[in-house]
Copies of this chain bind each other. A is one copy, B any other.
Amino acid sequence: MKNKTAPIGIFDSGIGGLTVAKAVMKALPNEDIIYFGDTARVPYGIKSEETVRRYALEITDFLLKKGVKMILIACNTVSASAKGEIIAKAGKVPVLDVITAGARAAFDQSGHKQIGVIGTLATVHSRAYVSAINEINGGAEVIQKACPMLVPLAEEGWIENEVARQTLQEYLKEFEEYDLDALILGCTHYPLFKEIIPQILHSQRTVVIDSAESIAETSSGKLQELNLLNKGGGKFDCYVSDRPQRFQELAERFLGRKLQDVSVINLS
């Protein structure tokens, strides 16, 4: 049986998953968190499923050795390609993923009829959100749109300038002919656009689902259910496989606070 004071493990192909870490810190301020970002091998979205699975299992191994009590897959590509393998490897350690959490939140918070999903090319191509939504709610119509420019925009820090606005206008045009109940932000970078997306969306009643917040809420419920809530933690340990250009600046933008003590480790 896992210890209540054991950390929660969160991982992503890069630093985008820090938006999930941020949401978990907010929802569960007493939990210790270990984050792993595979910055040496990012992006996963352009790699074969086989390679993504291999990388994801290496990271799972790393987190299990760190003694985590729960694993959050904060990467849409990994959620789409390797969830089953990670659950199998993790054994009794519960595993949650952003796609299932986002799909569930869209169902819980919206009118369930028309759900939009924006994500990277890889996520949209995988149709993982479509499957996850249909599993929960077979009658929903899911409209997907790949938005490959949003990750670089977020990384450039162009969150609400004219370029960001026009780019979103171009992409969200896709949904003009629909009356979306919910729009899922299906990429861990996208919560950075959470403020301006509703300003640009055609329908004002569409609920914007931030899958980082969704998985944070789900994990809170899960820990409660398993009686694994920590009462006194709050530590954050950050591991990356490489320290790219502008890492600190970017990581802090995604995490929403100062970041100290980042360790670089090579898994391969």
Contact = CB atoms under 8 A, between A and B. Distances in A.
Interface of A: 39-40, 42, 45-48, 51, 121-122, 125, 148-149, 151-153, 155-156, 158, 161-163, 166-167, 170, 242, 244-246
A246 B161 CA distance: 28
Given A47-B40, A149-B153, A245 B125 contact: yes
A245 B46 contact: yes
B149 A242 contact: no
Given A40-B51, A166-B163, A122 B245 contact: yes
B158 A47 contact: no
27 contacts: A39-B46, A40-B47, A40-B48, A40-B51, A42-B46, A45-B245, A46-B242, A46-B244, A46-B245, A47-B242, A48-B242, A51-B242, A121-B245, A148-B155, A149-B149, A149-B152, A149-B153, A149-B158, A149-B163, A151-B152, A152-B152, A161-B170, A162-B166, A163-B163, A163-B167, A163-B170, A166-B166
A151 B151 CA distance: 12
A42 B47 CA distance: 10
Nearest to A48: B242
A45 B125 CA distance: 26
B163 A156 contact: no
A85 B46 CA distance: 29
A39 B46 CA distance: 8
Contacts of A40: 47-48, 51
A234 to B, nearest CB: 31
A161 B167 CA distance: 10
Nearest to A125: B245
Contacts of A47: 40, 242, 244
Nearest to A46: B244
Nearest to A246: B121
B148 A152 contact: yes
Contacts of A163: 149, 163, 166-167, 170
A127 to B, nearest CB: 13
Contacts of A162: 166
Given A40-B48, A48-B242, A152-B152, 16 more contacts: A40-B47, A40-B51, A42-B46, A46-B242, A46-B244, A47-B242, A47-B244, A122-B245, A148-B156, A149-B149, A149-B158, A149-B163, A151-B152, A163-B163, A163-B166, A163-B170
